[in-house]
Amino acid sequence: MAHASEGRGQEFRLPDLGEGLTEAEIVRWLVEVGDVVAVDQPVVEVETAKAMVEVPCPYGGVVTARFGEEGTELPVGAPLVTVAVGTGEDGAAPAAGTQAAASAAGESRVAESTGAASTGGESRIAEPVAARAEAAGSGNVLVGYGTSEAPARRRRVRPGPRAGTGAVARTNGRVRVAGPADGPADGSADGPVESSVDGPVPVISPLVRRLARQNDLDLRELTGSGPDGLILRADVEYALRASAAQGGRAADHAARTGRAPVTAPTAPASATTPGAPRSGTVRTPLKGVRGAVADKLSRSRREIPDATCWVDADATGLMRARTAMNASGGPKISLVALLARICTAALARFPELNATVDTEAREIVRLDDVHLGFAAQTDRGLVVPVVRDAHARDAEGLAAEFARLTEAAHEGRLTPGELTGGTFTLNNYGVFGVDGSTPIINHPEAAMLGVGRIVAKPWVHEGELAVRQVVQLSLTFDHRVCDGGTAGGFLRYVADCVEQPAVLLRTL
């Protein structure tokens, strides 16, 4: 990768986004090679398992290189862009040489550092792009995370050429190792060789390893398209598609000629090729938000011995109280805000449910502050924004925060910090028109309150049959943190507050 002659080349790497995130997918580039960027200007929009984030660059200057196309997954610490910065104290790019830098960057391409053969049979190894700059950045890469040095990644050693192995054929950046009996692709007797058996496999993401393992794909037969030959999810999916297409071509040839395709005795039929699409099926990768939700819910089911109790409650009194609040003027109070206020009052009486379990220490950790999560369905999937310090907010404050977080969720603007750290979750699945549910606890929390739809039903009120607004409440709890008596007491208190909101006056 060539850099501009003027100024220093600063390599900006994908920062640690925090909250256990190890990779991100490039959604949209906000700059082109040759563009002049200012300090803290966003250069790329990435999607993590928790949110979409615009990543600002801490350097100002001319963009001389971009690493990765849109849709590519990059691990934390991988290069994002290279910026040619000026030598002045302000760190700005020099006025002269801007076009030269853009031209040099546009005409240069970096050779792959995997030692794989090129078309002409010559092996090239790229030189390191640039040394890591010592100059400090702006300190504002992501709000709340800073520009501290990204954790060093271990350099993976690629096996060197050895005699006795098959020739290497390259197709679209992938490497296939032919068997010893096969000759080189061009028919010559000599050519570069590469071992596909020895040495570590350049894979960081456990999701990539699992995808390959589930489809019986040998990662040693691939050459990654990521930095330093890193194998990405896209490389594995490409190999699976190529395998399926090869099987389809063999079947089509057999149909035209009437001859069965010639295969090795141990090779499976194309209809059972791992990863091959079957007729009438659609495969959707578990990635992004959907993948994060799947992992968390699966872990919850594995680790938490949950139990559920439920009760019907007459919500007529709560609905009338809300109507009276909103009729008095001021900001409108939402129903979920009133339910959240009831939850915080109930957790004050039954703090055992505002807890988590430390499995390694075999301890129950009771938490003082209530950070209340609430389930929100968006176009990107289910997310659980968190209202910080919900126990310290009144109904009006809770309503405002719920409105803000809900709007951010639908617009995809939630930050990782707004999606993590919850201690208890409120799940209002009544908006989907259902009465009840047995929700899965949001790991590592200990409980979740579910609220069904509020619907008119016949109800015995003050000794007479009447039509009342009835709701079903359910509590799913971790049986390790408490017994049924505590869970039942919590749910009964919530139901009492729903039926008679004046009960809350005792704790206000």
SS (H, E, C) 51-97: CEEEEEECCCEEEEEECCCCCCEEECCCEEEEEEECCCCCCCCCCCC
435 annotated active-site: no
Q: What letters, b where the CB count within 10 A reaches 16 and e where it falls short, cover 352-390?
A: bbbbbbeeeeeeeeeeeebbbbbbbebebeebbbbbeeb
Distances in whole angstroms, Cα of residue 189 to Cα of each of 116, 183, 468: 18, 7, 88
Q: For residue 313, give every residue at least 6 positions away whose Cβ sits within 8 Å of its Cβ, in sequence order, or none.
A: 470, 471, 472, 473, 494, 495, 498, 499
479 annotated active-site: yes
172: amino acid identity, one letter: N
Catalytic residue among 216, 252, 358, 479: 479
Catalytic residue among 16, 216, 483, 496: 483
What kind and span of H or E run contains 363? Answer: strand 363-366
Cα separation, 183 vs 73, whole angstroms: 35
| Cβ-contact 225, 250 below 8 angstroms | no
Query: What is the token pair recorded at 449?
Result: 């309150």
What kind and span of H or E run contains 364? Answer: strand 363-366
CA 241 to chain centre: 24
Please compute, for residue 438, the number of CA atoms within 13 A of its CA located in the half-sphere on the CB side.
6
CA 92 to chain centre: 34
Active site residues: 479, 483
